[in-house]
Amino acid sequence: MFRLQGSKVLAVDMTGDAVKAKNGSMVAYDGQMDFKKTSGGGEGIRGMVTRRLTGEQMTLMEVKGHGTCWFADRASEINLVQLQGDKLYVESSNLLATDGGLRTGTEFTGMRGASQGNGLFTTTIEGHGQAAIMSDGPAVVLRVSSQYPLTVDPGAYVAHQGNLRQSFQSGVTFRTFMGEGGGEAFQIRFEGDGLVYVQPSERNTIGGEV
């Protein structure tokens, strides 16, 4: 059972079940806990190799026991995500913890990943349960539906879930090269049905420079 204590600490109450959490993110625990390093997040050899190849490395530990365990990472804001059989796409660097029963994987993102300065691959989480993701400043959750598509700055994108199509938009024109660009040269457009998490801060991206 995940709950937030304040906005920067995640408390997990466990009764013999397990959670996967970012390596070294435990700040305190109460009760009996077992910490086990998992190679490749329990994705097996194939998952490990994929992560190594794609640069979407993620060192997770498995925490199992009875009691309460608290997690935090560099005072980042933590956001809880409830998954009901749908898929969450998140950068491995923004993932703090997931329920032990959730499946993690790696997926190709193409130009969107490149424009975020995050590499070409992203992490997926699938199943039923909870996950905790981190953001620089509290994330705003935006719903995308068929009549309301959403456009997001790649630098502010944190995660998305649901059945979304994303397309990459480029506003680069000859003006960009004349120093008169719109400042929002790269955008990701989400269409379909789902949720998008954006943070009130922008990573440094190629798009931010033009």
Partner 1 sequence: MTAYPGTGPVIHDPMTLPSDDNINNYTFCVELKGSEWFLQKGKMIAYYGSMEFNGIGHGRLDRLVRTSFHSPLHASDWVVASGSGKMLLADRAFDVNSYDLEEGNLTIRSGNLLAFQPSLALKQSIVPGFLTLIGTGKFVAASNGPVVFMEPPIRVDPQALVGWADCPSPCHHYDHGYMTGLMGGLRALTGVGGTSGEEHQFEFVGAGTVLLQSSETLMAEQATGATPHEPGVPGGGGVPGGHGPQSGSPRLPGQLGDLQRRFGL
User: Which residues of this chain interact with partner 1, rule CB under 8 A?
Assistant: 3-4, 6-7, 77, 79-82, 136-143, 145, 148-153, 155-156, 171, 175, 178-184, 195-196, 198-202, 208
Q: Going by C-beta distance under 8 Å and a sequence separation of 6 or more, which residues neighbour residue 164?
A: 144, 190, 191, 192, 193, 194, 196
**Closer CB to partner 1, 37 or 85, in the complex:** 85
Distance CA 71, CA 131 (A): 12
**Closer CB to partner 1, 55 or 137, in the complex:** 137
**Closer CB to partner 1, 19 or 196, in the complex:** 196
Q: Which of 74, 91, 205 is nearest to 159 (CA)?
A: 91
**Closer CB to partner 1, 25 or 199, in the complex:** 199
**Angle made by CA atoms 26, 32, 37, in degrees to the nearest 5:** 50
Give least dist CB 48 to partner 1, A.
32
Distance CA 75, CA 54 (A): 27
Give least dist CB 36 to partner 1, A.
29
Give least dist CB 99 to partner 1, A.
15
**Closer CB to partner 1, 111 or 141, in the complex:** 141
Give least dist CB 83 to partner 1, A.
12
Burial class (CB in 10 A: 0-12, 13-18, 19+), 45: exposed
Give least dist CB 204 to partner 1, A.
10
Task: Supply 85's token pair.
Answer: 């059989």
